[in-house]
């Protein structure tokens, strides 16, 4: 993001319901969906190694761990977003839970 642009937090609090807020909402959900998809894809690859090369398998495990971290962060971002940008849905954010 270029210098001088408002941070997402400021956009969220000053432009509630604006196009930029809705765009951020969609982007957070897209990122969570993409992170989840990638994590599951990598876990599937880990479960069925295509070869017997141990270093390949270790690389896959490492990628899956990175994907898991990205998924947790995306989930936390969505949860925070639900609690801050959609106050009436605070209960829904809590029901969303954690992993």
Task: Return the number of the residue (67 or 85) whose C-beta is nearest Zn ion.
Answer: 85
Is the alpha carbon torsion for 16, 18, 22, 25 positive or negative?
negative
Rounded to a whole number of angstroms, the minimum distance from the CB of residue 8 to Zn ion is: 11
In whole angstroms, what is the distance from residue 11 CA to residue 42 CA?
34
In angstroms, what CA-CA distances link 83 with 21, 58, 72?
A: 14, 38, 17
- Shortest distance in whole angstroms from residue 21 CB to Zn ion: 7
- Minimum distance from CB of 24 to Zn ion (Å)? 7
92, two tokens:
């829904």
List residues near Zn ion by CB under 5 A.
25, 85
C-beta nearest to Zn ion: residue: 25
């Amino acid at each position: 993001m270029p210098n001088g642009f408002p941070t997402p937090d400021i956009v969220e609090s000053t432009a509630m319901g604006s196009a930029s807020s809705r765009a951020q909402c969609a982007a957070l959900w897209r990122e969570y969906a993409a992170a989840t998809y990638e994590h599951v894809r990598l876990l599937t690859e880990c479960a069925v190694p295509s070869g017997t090369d141990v270093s390949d398998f270790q690389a896959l495990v490492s990628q899956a761990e990175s994907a898991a971290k990205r998924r947790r962060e995306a989930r936390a971002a969505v949860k925070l977003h639900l609690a801050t940008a959609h106050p009436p849905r605070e209960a829904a954010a809590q029901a969303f839970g954690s992993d």
